[in-house]
Amino acid sequence: MKAFLMYRDRDFDLKKPLPPNGDDLIQDLELSTLFHAMALDDEFLYSVAQSAVLSSLTEPGDILYRQQIFQDCLSNEEIVRDMYALAVETIESERKNFWSILRDYPDAILSRSVDVLHMFVEMLKRLKRVADDKAKLFKSEGFTTLFSMLRRELNDDYFATINYHLRELKFRDGVLISAELEQGNKGANYILRKPHDRQGWFARMFGTKPPTYGFYISDRDESGAKALSTLRDRGVNLAANALAQSNDHILSFFTMLRTELAFYIGCLNAHAYLARLGAPTCLPLPAPVEERRHAFRGLYDVCLALTKDQKVVGNDGEADRKNLFIITGANQGGKTTFLRSIGIAQLMTQCGMFAPAEFFCVNVCNGLFTHFKREEDASMRSGKFDEELRRMNEIANQITSNSILLFNESFAATNEREGSEIARQIVCALLEKRIKVFFVTHLYEFAGGFYEKRMDDAIFLRAERQDDGSRTFKIIEGRPLQTSYGEDLYQKIFLSEEIEQQRREN
């Protein structure tokens, strides 16, 4: 049995290693904030959220498959949460309630496996009732396939067969074992046999009994009892192993059901949090990797909204058929926040989640990479500029065509001229490889140089600034400016302190 709630044709691999740039994505985009919102202090939900978000899908059809399942989860949240709780309860019951210190003995394994399978049967019946009673409420291919499988495989004959075998494996009338005698009358080839059909009580009481050959062991004969127990273990060994494997199969189904439902539970948790803030969400429209699509309305940094616990400013944009995005403008005007919103929305789209926007349409990418400015190396093993170049080299070794690379004030650790030339050469090389580039920069020579080229596939954006120097935190289309309006910050910080000091003195 398979859940198939993350992929149409395979299981979700929670143990799959994260991409090599996973740590950089988490740090630069502050993704841990999103993971915590999805997990709600549940370590397992956190691990699933992290793995799913960073393991991007690259086929729009696979993304839409998960989106449809998430829509079902939104429409039937209580049912989905009950299914998740059932899977968790099953796994915990198997782990806690049926542990035995005698687990290495075949007879103990058999006894435990019988008890565990009894528990599994009851849980499967509960899951089957959900499929029987609630399947009509679900429309997605994923849930429809799951419920159809449950109704088909968990039928009355299946449960009747299991219950019959469980009764037989209790061995209330003893264990029937055959064996062969080897040299010295040593037993070999022990095989557990199915007993003949039981006679009615009248035949058992008054019928002719076949001749039997047996012996009795004294209550005080410990060696004899141990030898008899060893014979029993040899006889039931194969049955114990077969039943244990059957239990492992059922347990693996519940484990995968829990894992795959955990992703959608995380999505529901984050969605509910944002709904409480009044922050908009939508199901994004994924386009094929070869296209160049980037259109959005009300796009915001979801991690900033979660951190501030309030709705934040969103941005609108129409940038289809563009490969280069250069963002300049006022300090503390929202450029980095916008860059993060682009990256986070891309990851959320490509894992099948909702997008933090009123509308979001984007082409999928083969990989998302970030090159954000970092603090200087505290160990003094290298300078800040050397560290930037080292990270750029690592990205160059990993990135492929049809990827996206987000630069945030990169190569500003050297002088304007050198930094601009390095940035220009790197961006030109990336564009030749059909890599979409977003570049937040204060390097006017770099930004202005590309602006003068009047490239059809380039767009230039700017952090909006009001005439009085205030920031709207909106990103608008506009040519690069030579100033970042640092004097606005000077006046805001230092002159306001001076005015406040004068007010106190007066």
CB atoms within 10 A of CB 322: 18
Residue located via tokens 């009950």:
82
What letter would DSSP give residue 180? E
Burial (CB count <10 Å: 0-12, 13-18, 19+), residue 411: buried
Closest CA to 88 of 45, 152, 39: 45
Backbone φ and ψ of 443, nearest 5°: -80, 95
The tens place of each residue's pLDDT in the chain, 506 residues long, gives 899 999 999 999 999 999 999 999 999 999 999 999 999 999 999 999 999 999 999 999 999 999 999 999 999 999 999 999 999 999 999 887 655 544 556 666 677 778 888 899 999 999 999 999 999 999 999 999 999 999 999 999 988 888 776 676 665 656 666 677 777 767 677 676 666 655 555 555 666 666 666 656 667 766 655 655 665 565 556 666 777 788 889 999 999 999 999 999 999 999 999 999 999 999 999 999 999 999 999 999 999 999 999 999 999 999 999 999 999 998 888 999 999 999 999 999 999 999 999 999 999 999 999 999 987 666 546 678 899 999 999 999 999 999 999 999 999 888 999 999 999 999 999 999 999 999 999 999 999 999 999 999 999 999 998 877 778 899 999 999 886 554 554 455 555 555 556 666 65
C-alpha to C-alpha distance for 325 and 401, rounded to whole angstroms: 17
pTM of structure? 0.85
Q: Token pair of 387, please?
A: 């560290």
- DSSP assignments along 400-433, one per residue: -TT-EEEEESTT-SS-HHHHHHHHHHHHHHHHHT
Question: How many angstroms from the chain centroid is the CA of residue 216?
Answer: 60
Instruction: Please name the residue ranges forming H helices in 278-383.
Output: 302-308, 335-350
Q: Token pair of 167, please?
A: 């009764």
In which element (H, E) is residue 79 found? helix 77-96
The domain ranges of the chain are 22-170+253-275, 177-247, 278-505
61-to-179, 352, 362, 373 alpha-carbon distances in Å:
58, 10, 14, 35
CATH superfamily of 278-505: P-loop containing nucleotide triphosphate hydrolases (3.40.50.300)
C-alpha to C-alpha distance for 175 and 17, rounded to whole angstroms: 48
